[in-house]
Amino acid sequence: MILDILKYPNKKLRTVAKEVEAVNGDIKQLVKDMFETMYAAPGIGLAATQVNFHQRIIVIDVSDDCDQPLCLINPEIIEKSGEIEYEEGCLSVPNYYENVKRANEIKVRALNEKGVSFEIEANEMLAVCIQHEMDHLMGILFVDHLSKLKQKRLKKKAEKQSQKL
């Protein structure tokens, strides 16, 4: 089922997600729906917060053929190094792209969609995507990494767009 994606400046995007207590049937269905929503959007990452479920779940697929789905439940970065500046966009901030600096290499511990713990090392685009989606779980948007002036302009533009809907 394709879920509705919250759009900036919706205040629900600022909600801090809670830990997933158990990977049960409801969580597995949510993960499936999140993948379907992300692919349909189309996007390369989606946090549960963006679809108004405030639990620590993210789905990602940075592959060209959309055939490498990655689910991270209760993700935590356990190592990071280097720095990369990458142009980011966001399904919750449509048609807006800006360069953001993040760690270039990270190691993450999480549960998969079956509830099994694993660790993954990521760099470049995958590392950027994971950090971007993990920010969502903390109520942080990529635009928060921008200058105050750019944030102000974007917020005005987004508020005008939401009034047209």
Residue-wise pLDDT tens digits, 100-128: 999 999 999 999 999 999 999 999 999 99
pLDDT band at residue 157 under the 50/70/90 scheme: confident
Please name the fold of domain 11-164. Answer: Peptide Deformylase (3.90.45)
User: Annotated catalytic, 105?
Assistant: no
pLDDT one-digit tens code per residue, 8-66: 999 999 999 999 999 999 999 999 999 999 999 999 999 999 999 999 999 999 999 99
Asked if pLDDT for residue 86 goes beyond 90, the answer is yes
Domain boundaries of the chain, sorted by first residue: 11-164
Catalytic residue (one of 113, 124, 133, 159): 133
Q: Where do runs of H (alpha helix) occur along the chain?
A: 25-40, 124-137, 148-164
